[in-house]
Amino acid sequence: MLSSKHILLIIGGGIAAYKSLDLIRRLRERGATVTPVLTRAGGEFVTPLSVSALAGVEVHQDLFDLTKEADMGHIQLSRSADLLVVAPGTADLMAKMAQGRADDLASTLLLATDTPVLVAPSMNVRMWDHPATQRNIATLKADGVAIVGPNDGDMACGEYGPGRMAEPLEIVAAIEAKMGDGPLKGKRVLVTSGPTHEPIDPVRYIANRSSGAQGTAIGAALAALGAEVVFVTGPADAPPPSGVEVVKVQSAAEMLAAVEAALPVDAGIFAAAVADWRVASESGSKIKKQDGKLPTLEFAENADILAKVSQMKTGRPSLVVGFAAETDDVITNATAKRKRKGCDWIVANDVSPETGIMGGSENDVMLISETGSEDWPRMSKEAVAERLALKIAEELADAD
Ligand code: CTP
């Protein structure tokens, strides 16, 4: 719920502006007050009348509206809000934000405040991929601006790829995660998820059967409790959760680099099924068949990300949680694994094919810590995630 929260919504000039009308409705349903601001370009896509009718208040458009300057100046407008949401966040609006320009009402409001800001980018895939946009996004993130989306998909311009604005309910989830008063508010948590792909050559790779479902559910559950979640995911089937910062990687080496870049965090949850080995000398060109001769692959060991973080001398997260996917002697192996890697907890599960856990919707886990083990009943992966997230919240509260 967002009751008594005040959101200043800046609607930029993109085709996704129509979704922002639904966003206003969804926010108001949850008890939030929405003050809408329409940029000049935004006004080309949706009318001020629809925006103000849905928001139930007048829409702000002009920087130099002297009547409003007299009773409620633009500075007051953004400072009285609990959160500024920019949706659609166009490439141009984000470029202005990154540079600190203030040449219209929206950019002035964004510069004249220290209220938290959430941007839902929306643009053509090539604009999104452009180094200038990526540079601006990195600057905004470094400035503490939260980003939701964009999603991959068909675009209004006929192209396909990342750039589609997040759906209204995904934006609502990101807003709730940022503003909710959950027990993990103010905590930064890292989650790794999904499989890794280890390249053999440009077209082949070694993978595993992880769907990423458990990691996704954990990311969502932690965000729902108010945590700021950095979600580092390999190429998973499950789409990443809403309201988290998503970092997509392919290989174990990329996952390690993304994890190191996300530190420091209060807790690290390592749910990814990381490949233990990579092909030692990945071929730069496609390996061809050679008259019945079989290729030989040499392997090299990947760094153990969980062990590396668990054994950090300085800046170790207060809580490090690993997973143990076992097929035999689950408790014995998982207990030994916890000690060997040096993490605080291990969530152990039996991934023998007859359990249907790997790739399925349920999980049957045992939580192992230094003080003993808890056997949880078989339940959905979402329920496991919620229970684990609550336990993490209790643990971090105790650590404070
Ligand atoms: N893990 C990791 N980096 C690796 C390998 C594993 O971070 N290179 C993490 C996983 O995310 C998981 C835990 O270590 O949290 C255990 O993974 P698992 O595959 O069960 O253990 P292994 O170390 O691979 O041991 P084994 O395969 O011998 O059972």
Model confidence at 66: pLDDT above 50: no
Which ligand 1 atom is the nearest neighbour of the CA of 322?
15
Q: How far is the CA of 273 from the centre of ligand 1 (A)?
A: 7
Which ligand 1 atom is the nearest neighbour of the CA of 333?
29
CA 230 to CA 188: how far, in whole Å? 8
Q: How far is the CA of 270 from the centre of ligand 1 (A)?
A: 9
Q: Where are the domains of the chain?
A: 6-179, 188-399
CA 260 to CA 139: how far, in whole Å? 19
Cβ 322 under 6 angstroms from ligand 1: yes
Structural class in CATH, domain 6-179: alpha beta
Q: How far is the CA of 320 from the centre of ligand 1 (A)?
A: 13
Cβ 305 under 6 angstroms from ligand 1: yes
CA 279 to CA 303: how far, in whole Å? 13
**CATH architecture of the region 188-399:** 3-Layer(aba) Sandwich (3.40)
Kindly give the pairing relationship between strand 319-326 and strand 345-350.
parallel
Q: Which helix (H) or strand (E) holds 390?
A: helix 381-399
- Given this chain, do its domains 6-179 and 188-399 carry the same CATH topology? yes
For the chain, what is the mean pLDDT? 91
Model confidence at 10: pLDDT above 90: yes
Closest residue by Cα to atom 9, ligand 1, is 306
In 3-state terms, what secondary structure has residue 240? coil
CB 20 within 8 A of CB 46: yes
Model confidence at 176: pLDDT above 90: no
Model confidence at 67: pLDDT above 70: no
Model confidence at 12: pLDDT above 80: yes
In 3-state terms, what secondary structure has residue 321? strand
CA 28 to CA 266: how far, in whole Å? 33
Model confidence at 396: pLDDT above 70: yes
User: What is the per-residue pLDDT across 208-262, written as a single tens digit (0 to 9) for each?
Assistant: 988 999 999 999 999 988 899 999 999 999 888 877 899 999 999 999 999 999 9
Cβ 304 under 6 angstroms from ligand 1: yes
Cβ 205 under 6 angstroms from ligand 1: no
| More confident position, 8 or 73 | 8
Write the Ramachandran bin of 385: left for phi over 0, alpha for psi from -120 to 50, otherwise beta.
Answer: alpha
**pTM recorded for the entire structure:** 0.68
Residue 174, C-beta contacts closer than 8 angstroms, at least 6 positions apart = 118, 120, 146, 148, 166, 242, 243
Model confidence at 87: pLDDT above 60: yes
24, 30, 26, 51: which is closest to 39 by C-alpha?
Answer: 51
Residue 363's pLDDT band (cuts 50, 70, 90): confident
Q: How far is the CA of 304 from the centre of ligand 1 (A)?
A: 7
Closest residue by Cα to atom 16, ligand 1, is 324
Model confidence at 341: pLDDT above 90: yes
36, 32, 23: which is closest to 1 by C-alpha?
Answer: 32
Closest residue by Cα to atom 17, ligand 1, is 324
Scored b (16 or more CB within 10 A) or e, 377-394 reads eeeebbbbbbbbbebbbe
- Mean of pLDDT values over 185-212: 95
Model confidence at 62: pLDDT above 80: no
Cβ 324 under 6 angstroms from ligand 1: yes
**Residue whose token pair is 């077209």:** 203
